[in-house]
Amino acid sequence: MPSTLWGLPTHPLVVHLVVFLVPLTVAATLVVALWPRARRVAAPWVLAVATVAVISVPMATSSGENLESRVPHSALVERHAELADMLLPLAGVMWLGLAVMTGVGWYARRESAAAPRWAGAVTVAAAVLAIGGAAASGVQVVRIGHSGANAVWHDVAAHPERR
């Protein structure tokens, strides 16, 4: 991934994709996990958005690592990078739960009246997994964003008289 786009560091540009898509996926995951009718209608679409969201996470961390090598080292930047490294596994858990819910739902609808008895239990387990991953991903995005803003703007907030 290039370290700059249009003369700007890539990271602040790419990170907005994560900041938009992960919370959108979190909200949509909660809807399809908790509302069976929405699951039947929207789960494949939510899974598609979740796939793009999960793919965008390594793009953001990679561009962040490129930027990290070009800025002065600080504990704030290090903390931001550590928090960011935890997002992919959490988003992956959310994606896995969504994928299982979507796949089981598709299989059960295909079998129509003869849906296997295990489908309901697997769907509930996948929903619990998706909800847990969604909650953790949502919290982690906030933590990462706050630490990133703190790393960039801490001097401005600490010295408001410098204008």
Q: What does DSSP assign to residue 25? A: H
CA-based Rg of the chain, rounded to a whole angstrom?
19
What tens digit of pLDDT does each residue of 76-102 get?
999 999 999 999 999 999 999 999 999
Q: Which of 63, 112, 98 is nearest to 84 (CA)?
A: 63
CB–CB of 29/23 below 8 Å? no
Domain spans of the chain, in order of start = 4-151
Q: Say how many C-beta atoms besides its own lie within 10 A of residue 3's C-beta.
A: 14
Q: Would you state the pLDDT for residue 70?
A: 86
Per the confidence metrics, is the pTM higher than 0.95? no
pLDDT of 163 above 60: no
- Tell me the angle at which helices 118-158 and 75-85 cross, rounded to the nearest 10 degrees: 170
